[in-house]
Amino acid sequence: MSKKDIKVPNIGEFKDVEVIEVLIKKGQKIKKNDPLITIESDKSSVEIPSSDNGTIISLNVKIGDKVSEGDKIIEIESEKEIKETSAQEFLKNQLQKEIKKNDVKKSNESRNIIVEDFSAKASASPKVRKFARELGVDINKVPGSERQGRVTESDVKLFVATKSDKSFKYQNKTEQKIEQEYSHSDFGEVDIKDIPRVKKLSSKYLMNSWTKIPHVTNHDEADITELEEFRTSLTDIYTGEKKKITPLAFIVKALTTSLKKFPNFNTSIDEIENGKMTVKRYYHVGIAVDTPHGLMVPKLRNAENKNISLISAELKKISQQCRDLKIDKKELFGGSMTITSLGGIGGSFFTPIINYPEVAILGVGRAEKKQVFMDGKFVTRTMLPLSLSYDHRIIDGAEAARFNNDLKENLGKNFAYKLAV
C-alpha cells in the first residue's frame, strides 16, 4: 500500500468554488469514482469523484471551504495492488455463466443493460442526489424513469410516496416496543380511560391523510373590516332585532364562490383509477365541529344556492346534531372542501390537516384589529388569519396563492353586501 493525495481535478475556469457537501469521512473505504464532495458555483453544482481506491487517512476540506483545481481533498492509503472484486463484477460473472449455460443469444447491448441494473451507483445529477439526501432517501434504491435508469426528482418523490405507508407502520412498531419497555405507572399515579369512539374513528382518516397527502400550507390575512361592520349591523326586518350571524357563514359563502372559480380545489384523487381525479360539480362545504366526543366534520350541502341567513341557520343545526350524536353518518362524507375555525377559541395561523379524500382545507384564526398601511398612512383594520393547506399533487403554490387572493376579495368590502343576498 502507498499513500496518495486526491485533489480537485480540472473544473474549468472556476476558482474558489464553495464546498456545499462532504460525502465521506476519515477511515472510510472508497472506490474509484465514488463521490467525495459537492461544489457549487453560481451556475451549477458538481460532485467531485475519487480518482483511486483506498482508505481515507485525512480529510482536508469542510463545508463552506473554497476550492480550486489542484487543492487537496483527502489523503488515502491506495489499494491499487489489490485486485477489486465488486458486487457488480460478481453478478456480472454469474450472469455470463448463466447465459452460456442456457445458450441464450442476446446482443452485447442487452447484456450491458442487465448488468447495469445491479449497479450499486445510481445515475443522477448532483441536484437530484442532494434532494434525495435531504429527504433521507437512499438514491441507489430509487428506480429511474429516464434513459438507462437515470433518476429524476419526480422519481424520488414517487419513491417517498409509495414507501410512506410502510415506513409509518415500522415507526408504529418501534413506538409500541418503547411503550412496552416501561409502564406509565412506573413513574407515578395514572388513570386509564377509553379513547372516545369518535376520536378512534377519525384517527385512521387523519393518519391516512397525513401519510398519503403531501401537505403545503399557504398563510395569508383577509381584511374583513367592512364585512364585520355589515354583519354586526344586520337586523330582522320584521322584529327589528339584531341578527346573530357568525362570520363563519360569510366565509362559507365566500369559499363557495372561490371554489367555482378554481375547480381544482373541488376535486378528489381516485387512486383506484390509476391516478385519475374526480371533479365535483356540487358544493358541499365541510365544517369542523368541536364536540365533547371529538372532532366531527358534517357537510353543509349545496352552499352555493343558500343565502347567508340560511347558511347560518344550517350551521347551528348540524353543529348541534354532532354534539348530540344525532348526525347521519352519510353527512360526514362527500364534501368539496372543509373549513376549520379556531376563531371562537383563539390563535392565528396553524397547519390544518386535509380531510381525505378532499384536496384542500381552510383554517381560520381569530380576527383582530391591526394597524395597516393604506393610501399613504396607517389605519386600523380588522384582519382575519387564513391558513390554506392543499394537496401538492393537484394544486401548486401559485394556484394556492391565487385562490387565497380571490377568497380575500370575496371577504372584502366590495363583496360583503352581495354575499348577504
Task: Give catalytic residue positions.
Answer: 392
Any alpha helices (H) in 65-183, and if so which ranges? 87-102, 108-116, 126-134, 153-181
344 Cβ contact partners less than 8 Å away, ≥ 6 residues apart: 366
What's the rounded Cα separation, in Å, for the pair 290 and 298?
Answer: 11
What's the rounded Cα separation, in Å, for the pair 185 and 198?
Answer: 26
What's the rounded Cα separation, in Å, for the pair 291 and 297?
Answer: 10
Q: Look up residue 119 and give its three cell numbers.
A: 449497479
Whether residue 357 has a cis bond before it, omega within 30° of 0: yes
Three-state DSSP class for 301? coil
CA torsion through residues 18, 23, 26, 32, sign: negative
Task: List the Cα angle 331/332/333 in 5-degree steps.
Answer: 90
Closest CA to 35 of 6, 14, 57: 6
Cα radius of gyration rounded to whole Å, the chain: 30
What's the rounded Cα separation, in Å, for the pair 24 and 49?
Answer: 11
Q: Look up residue 330 and give its three cell numbers.
A: 352519510
Task: List the Cα angle 95/98/102 in 5-degree steps.
Answer: 145
Is the CB of residue 389 less than 8 Å from the CB of residue 217?
A: yes
Closest CA to 134 of 151, 156, 161: 156
From residue 254, how far is each of 184, 306, 345 by CA, in Å?
48, 12, 22
Q: Which residue has the cell 381584511?
A: 223
What's the rounded Cα separation, in Å, for the pair 221 and 384?
Answer: 5
